[in-house]
């Protein structure tokens, strides 16, 4: 699953037009879990400072 290259992304919920727009879904596998940008960024292997824009084009397979 790859996050969009631009447009709307969210921490927990998927945007209707973008099936893979939830950072929580991409990193943790669930949009229902408690989500904080800093914890998801660390889990994804990103370093501080944390920004939502670092998840554009993020793909879970990139970190395997």
- Tell me the per-residue pLDDT of 17-58, one tens digit each, with 9 for 90 and over: 555 788 888 887 776 666 788 988 998 889 889 998 999 988
Q: Does the model's pTM come out above 0.95?
A: no
Give pLDDT, residue 32: 67
**Residue 63, preceding bond cis, omega within 30 degrees?**
no
**CA pair distance 61, 64, nearest whole angstrom:** 5
Q: Check if the beta carbon of residue 24 is closer than 8 Å to that of residue 44.
A: no
pLDDT beyond 50 at 64? no
């Amino acid at each position: 699953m790859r996050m969009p290259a631009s447009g709307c992304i969210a921490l927990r919920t998927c945007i209707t037009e973008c099936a893979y727009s939830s950072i929580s879904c991409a990193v943790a596998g669930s949009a229902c879990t408690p989500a904080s940008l800093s914890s998801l960024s660390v889990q994804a292997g990103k370093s501080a400072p944390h920004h939502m824009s670092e998840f554009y084009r993020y793909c879970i397979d990139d970190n395997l």
